Structure 1
Amino acid sequence: MNYYAAFLPMKDEEKSKTYRPDHLTYLEDMEKQEKIFAKGRFTDGAGGLVIYQAESLEEAEELVKADPYVAKGARDYKLHEWTMVLAESAARPE
Structure 2
Amino acid sequence: MPKWEDYKSEAKARGALAMELFVVRTRPTGDMGLVKATLPDHLAYQKEMEAAGALVMAGPVSDVTGDMMEAEGMIIYRATNLEAARALANGDPMHKVGARSYDIRKWLVNEGSLSFTVALSSQSVTVN
* TM-score when normalising by structure 2: 0.64
For residues 91 and 26 of structure 1, do their structure 2 counterparts lie closer, same or farther at Cα, with a shift above 3 Å needed? Answer: closer
Runs of 4+ residues over 4 Å off in structure 1: none
Give the percent of matched residue pairs that are identical in Structure 1 and Structure 2. Answer: 30
Q: Using CA pairs under 8 Å that are at least 6 residues apart, name the structure with larger relative contact order, 1 or 2.
A: 1
Give yes or no for the alignment of 1:8 onto 2:26: yes
2: CA distance between counterparts of 1:91 and 1:28?
21
Runs of at least 5 residues in structure 1 that lack an aligned partner in the other structure: none
Answer whether contact 2:24 2:76 (CA < 8 A) is retained: yes
- The 3-state SS of whatever aligns with 2:70 is coil
Matched AA of 1:64 = A
For residues 81 and 46 of structure 1, do their structure 2 counterparts lie closer, same or farther at Cα, with a shift above 3 Å needed? Answer: same
Where in structure 2 are the equivalents of 1:68-83 lying within 5 Å? 68-83=93-108
CA deviation after TM superposition for structure 1 residue 91, in Å: 6.5
Q: Which residue of 1 aligns with 2:122?
A: none
Superposed CA RMSD in Å reads: 1.8
- Structure possessing the higher radius of gyration over alpha carbons: 2
Q: Which residue of 1 aligns with 2:58?
A: 39
Runs of at least 5 residues in structure 2 that lack an aligned partner in the other structure: 1-18, 63-68, 116-128
2: CA distance between counterparts of 1:67 and 1:21?
11
Q: Which residue of 2 aligns with 1:17?
A: 36
Q: What is the total number of aligned residue pairs between the two structures? A: 90
17-26 vs 35-44, which moves further: 35-44
Matched AA of 1:42 = V
* TM-score when normalising by structure 1: 0.86
CA deviation after TM superposition for structure 1 residue 45, in Å: 2.4
Greater share of helix: 1
Deviations along 1:8-56, one digit per CA (max 9) or x if unpaired, are 0111211110000000000000000000111111241231010000001
- The 3-state SS of whatever aligns with 2:50 is helix
